[in-house]
Chains A and B, each alone.
Chain A
């Protein structure tokens, strides 16, 4: 092999090397552009079609029940109030029961973070629907209205449980991660605005799974659900005229009637229902699953003293409270939801129902001096419970009767009892007697739950409630 040829061969080899390196460089770039994930959908695409945008809304409704959020609100507040007796030896449960929740309590953190997780998803719906040019206006209104309704619903509980809370209105974590708490008043203003918007966006009819067609099931919020919740909110903020007007709208809408048969109030097709949340996981309702006793209670059951205060003819005592007897021991449990476990859907968890609206209107009327109007509304509820009508003598007596009626009608249901005690200002006097019987000592500061400790460590702007 002549030498010059040798050199040429070498040159060729070197050229080949560089060519290989070049090809590799280009190859590298192409190689790592991977296809979109097979089990995920890019966010922008979600709001490109009615189907997927609707699906994003449905999962929020679903999580309320499936992730035990609604049940947790009910259980924790019922332990805090006089409704439940605790049987758990878990220290976190004992803390809740004895009104001595520590900032590190995990159940408390669960409520807080689930609420905000759902609020985030509502905000994402709002932003996605706003930005989308491909959604039908019908669906856009429906899911935006629903998102606003739910956001208001969640803030309602947050501010009632924690007082001042951060107001998250968009999905940008850069902004959200350092929010501080806003006053409860501000939160309420925002809630009202959301519900007003929701009323405007939603239709009077209930919507089907697809968010467009009408349906008989009442498992998606409609205009009246927004009105019903707004009535409650106005009651809480003592805007009694507005509360009356709105509950009036709901009651007079001719959409709902009180179920004459008290056993049918929580069935899926009951006529009293304003909004239910369906659970299509493995239970009918998380309440039925958690509360019905078939053995000695290991977690909680209704405090016997709470039961003993019912009129013995009250159908709600007879039909909505179950008993489990073992030897000489009798245990009481909430039995509004009778089905503990079944694969077919017969019951659904109630969020808003008509009897509450009567009670709201009654209270609003009493507070505005219309005792007879209040009496009529109250007696509608009493009558269904099989009780004789009540007579109002004075505002104070009327209010006391009303609160007692709310206790008996709405017990162990969406935290009504605990919230009522607090908003009516009776909580201090009442719990001072109640807490010692639960093995604790009442402190005024226990009215508000603590801001979870881990949250404060992650967002130093979050202040703590007094007393923690």
Chain B
């Protein structure tokens, strides 16, 4: 059917969801016959007029060279007229031209020059033949000069072309004759044609992301240039298997764009997302690089199974977090590595978080905890541009504590002995029995994490292409060192590429996208946090020869940990190929094919040199392991799109096939003759296999979606999916999930438009549906044995792996949501509110079992229902916006509530003493703390059942809520001329967090304490909040141990953090470099700058681990 495939439709609406994928619309008449005839006819018209149309198209690309400083606009226009042989046309009574203009360009496109001259003036321009018309924006554009003087003809065939301000064609734009509702959409080349259009009728031309233009029909050819619409509501939002815009979404999708990510000097994407998305709670577990962050989206749905969201990178599902855990090698600091750490933040175009059923149900079984879609940058049309970025910075821990000095420490130790009635100082109390110098003080905090971490980051990208083929190549390097002494660091290198081929008038479109990155980290084997408890008068770190000092085996030298290293090498490849083909009008077939490979090699080296030489039996060890996780997915789809009279329907039907393979092997060598040979297992005395696992996971699905829009204000979206997963036993493999979402844009209704026109946008939306969860590990339904690591009698033994339950089935998560989105004063104020309720039933989890069953857990469905409800608020305001100064503010707030709604038989379950029906899952049943006994000086607790002793579980009756009450962020962005400042505060309200005592232990032992411990009970009738010192197991020890699980341990862990401050300045360098440098910016980015909290301990977020680092970085970015 030739080009008529992109023919005419009678009435068209904005096809925002699919146009960029299909770029197609089908002709639609009263009958098939009619339609075919019209298509055939137009086919001819179109062809014949193309030539005509193209002849007058490229005015915008005419080259202009200008070099003016503070010149009047009129004079500049004169120069342009001279060079382009075009004339300006404008009405001095209607518009005000800008005052003085400074511009310096060589061979720049006319469009670009015009853009710069009219920037921020509220004016726009269009070309018609050789005339450049300047008009106010959003007004009727460009009156076409009469062509051929045939003004008597009342009806003409109009052809035209729609382009963006740079002259690139806009396909899929809607051209509508306002009165008759006849219309067309533009084809790949941005061309359209309309027959029998009466003169003087007005054409409305619109496309998502652009301002709508209205033009009266005066002649036969029309060229329309649309300006980019700045309205955030119309920005493209990536959704499951497609795109949409905030305006027309029926579901809840949050977006973080590249700009927000790039302002943060972080190596890990996870840190860049913290506090920025409502409903997404990200907790940093440690300040060491590469450490895992915990992600919880809209609460804890599962009592103890995976609560992490599904992550999809460029249509390729990321590994599901179960398998790439490098703990197989032992407890390295990075033993739980962050999954997103491997992705270069600078390669990211946007991150979309899909939250409710409507947005997620199409991912079916894996979407119970929400979905995070990561989209990488794509090539853009234009001449090849080079983008360079470099920053360098430093980081230090955000918080330290004041610990006891030697004098107070010794006093504490002696008092502890007195309290325990120990009269002779024990032999092993080296700190006070004279073995160690009691006058010496070492600040172990400073010695162990007092260094400055260095950050270096360099990026380069090349992008460009024609309208048919675009490409992007990005290179990145990032290095950060640690605050530990010693040569520890984390380095990443990455290569990212994208090729998009989408030739004009072709049915085939191809997009290839991939990135490869490599991460190498060298870290201590464990977090050094606990070693800061080393007594302050401990011996010197090094002896006079510069060797580790063991002081006659009287202590553990903390610096020996610096020699015990854990090296991680990660390779990550993610590639995706999208091919789509226009099958016949309205139908596109498409397939996504993805491949992903994560490979992790880990090496934990414990050299002989890290041991006390007196411990002659200590053996050097070298643990080495490899974990390989690969996955591929093929997802064929059929897309359908059709619109008529006020209505538009988009359909999607697809299937997904996914396979994931995981294999891991780990070895340990012991007893090396020489520390130099630790990497070579051949040099080990004994080598043994620690683990060897091979897993396979397959998953298949059929899914569909129908999206219907009526009058651009009534929206309905229905999705369904049938899933099968190899993680379930025979007969339990398949399950069906569905969702429906509706939306009503009531700002489009007459009563708002006429009576309440300060409301520029108002949408009420709701959704309901089901999703599932199969994050349960492979083969769990099988009853199997696997080889035991050691032989017996020379033979390898077999060991049962698990308790077996072949009957577990899918868990169901029902999600409901209501949202209200309001825009006021031309969307200068935008408020979005959502209420959600997720109910997770038939909970599939690893059910903890008492050890008497032989194992500590079994995979099972639990009859419990967990409910997560919440309120999410987002406010964005444009406080000031004028030519030089803009100030915008964004606030987000999430108030989550979690509740165990139902759990029949909880009293006879493993959770009888853990959870309470009707309360949150974030509770801890604690003893009721009753203060320090003024007589004994020990912590006391309420003996609830009055049996005279504090016993479990009877006296553990106080349910303490340990979760977050609310959290959110506040973003302010100010720009003045070339200067831009943004600052972002993250806030978390959590009233009950265990204080420092959980990591310091009972005061009085040979471990140092924070100065808080000085406020202890000391004499009878002393009223104090800290119990007496003790150094031998006994009632005080028991009291302290009880304290850790009582109400007394909890303290307010709320905090406000200036998470990010970014200051940048755009250097006015374009002129100076004769256009060679398009854009150059210097910036200062700071992370975790200030933390405001009353928390007693290190950091309320990382608590027992290394606090987050305060990072300050200086950088420069340039585009050539």
Q: In the complex the two chains form, what is the Cα distance from A429 to B657 in whole Å? A: 72
CB 8 Å contact bits of B246-261 with A (1 = contact, 0 = none): 0000000000000000
A58 contacts B793, CB within 8 Å?
yes
Q: How far is the CB of B921 from chain A (nearest CB, A)?
A: 15
Range class of the A interface residue count = 35 or more
Does any Cβ of B come within 8 Å of A468's Cβ?
yes
Task: Identify A41's interface contact among B695, B778, B785, B912, CB under 8 A.
Answer: B785
**Interface SS of chain B: helix, strand, loop or mixed?**
mixed
> Could you say which residues of chain B place their CB within 8 Å of the CB of A112?
851
B612 contacts A295, CB within 8 Å?
yes
| Interface 9-residue window, one of B71-79, B623-631, B1001-1009 | B1001-1009
CB 8 Å contact bits of A252-268 with B (1 = contact, 0 = none): 00000000000000000
Does any Cβ of A come within 8 Å of B724's Cβ?
yes
* A246-285 at interface with B (beta carbon < 8 Å): 278-282
**Given A13-B584, A178-B908, are A43 and B800 also a contact pair (CB < 8 Å)?**
yes
CB 8 Å contact bits of A7-44 with B (1 = contact, 0 = none): 10100010001001100110111011111111111111
A55 contacts B793, CB within 8 Å?
no
Task: Identify A28's interface contact among B702, B804, B1038, CB under 8 A.
Answer: B702
B1034 contacts A100, CB within 8 Å?
yes
Name the CB-closest residue of B to A464. B951
Q: In the complex the two chains form, what is the Cα distance from A417 to B699 in whole Å? A: 58
A95 contacts B854, CB within 8 Å?
no
Q: In the complex the two chains form, what is the Cα distance from A265 to B1025 in whole Å? A: 57
A121 contacts B800, CB within 8 Å?
yes
> Could you say which residues of chain A place their CB within 8 Å of the CB of B914?
457
Does any Cβ of A come within 8 Å of B688's Cβ?
yes
Q: In the complex the two chains form, what is the Cα distance from A117 to B801 in whole Å? A: 11
A219 contacts B793, CB within 8 Å?
yes
Q: In the complex the two chains form, what is the Cα distance from A35 to B697 in whole Å? A: 10
Task: Identify A56's interface contact among B670, B696, B798, CB under 8 A.
Answer: B798
Does any Cβ of B come within 8 Å of A59's Cβ?
yes
Does any Cβ of A come within 8 Å of B751's Cβ?
no
Q: In the complex the two chains form, what is the Cα distance from A443 to B422 in whole Å? A: 20
* B771-817 at interface with A (beta carbon < 8 Å): 778-779, 782-801, 803-804
Does any Cβ of B come within 8 Å of A433's Cβ?
no
Q: In the complex the two chains form, what is the Cα distance from A59 to B787 in whole Å? A: 8
B688 contacts A281, CB within 8 Å?
yes
**Given A173-B853, A173-B854, are A39 and B693 also a contact pair (CB < 8 Å)?**
yes
Task: Identify B798's interface contact among A17, A52, A66, A340, CB under 8 A.
Answer: A52
Does any Cβ of B come within 8 Å of A310's Cβ?
no
Q: In the complex the two chains form, what is the Cα distance from A6 to B797 in whole Å? A: 70
> Could you say which residues of chain A place their CB within 8 Å of the CB of B545?
none
CB 8 Å contact bits of A286-307 with B (1 = contact, 0 = none): 0001001011101000000000
**Given A13-B587, A58-B792, are A42 and B852 also a contact pair (CB < 8 Å)?**
no
A34 contacts B698, CB within 8 Å?
yes
| Interface 9-residue window, one of A70-78, A86-94, A399-407 | A86-94
Q: How far is the CB of B247 from chain A (nearest CB, A)?
A: 31
A46 contacts B912, CB within 8 Å?
no
Does any Cβ of A come within 8 Å of B913's Cβ?
yes
* B25-44 at interface with A (beta carbon < 8 Å): 32-33, 36
Does any Cβ of B come within 8 Å of A343's Cβ?
yes
Q: In the complex the two chains form, what is the Cα distance from A94 to B428 in whole Å? A: 13
Q: In the complex the two chains form, what is the Cα distance from A319 to B874 in whole Å? A: 78
> Could you say which residues of chain A place their CB within 8 Å of the CB of B787?
39, 55
Name the CB-closest residue of B to A56. B798
A117 contacts B779, CB within 8 Å?
no
A282 contacts B796, CB within 8 Å?
no
> Could you say which residues of chain A place their CB within 8 Å of the CB of B952?
103, 453, 456-457, 464
What are 6 contact pairs spanning A and B, CB under 8 A? A9-B584, A28-B701, A31-B700, A41-B784, A43-B783, A456-B953
**Known A56-B797, A58-B793; 16 more pairs at CB < 8 Å:** A13-B584, A25-B702, A32-B725, A40-B786, A41-B785, A62-B791, A95-B1033, A103-B952, A168-B852, A220-B793, A280-B792, A281-B789, A295-B615, A296-B552, A329-B427, A459-B852
B residues lining the A interface (CB < 8 Å): 32-33, 36, 420, 422, 427-428, 552-554, 583-584, 587, 612, 614-617, 619, 636, 638, 653, 655, 657, 670-671, 685-686, 688, 692-702, 722, 724-726, 733-734, 778-779, 782-801, 803-804, 848-856, 858, 907-910, 912-914, 949, 951-953, 1001-1002, 1005-1007, 1032-1034, 1037-1038, 1041
A residues lining the B interface (CB < 8 Å): 1, 3, 6-7, 9, 13, 17, 20-21, 24-25, 27-29, 31-44, 46, 52, 54-63, 66, 87, 89, 91, 94-95, 97-98, 100, 102-104, 109, 112-113, 116-117, 119-121, 123-124, 166, 168, 171, 173, 176-179, 208-210, 217, 219-220, 278-282, 289, 292, 294-296, 298, 326, 329, 340-341, 343, 439-441, 452-453, 455-462, 464, 467-468
The 4 closest A-B pairs by CB, nearest first: A120-B854, A59-B797, A113-B851, A209-B793
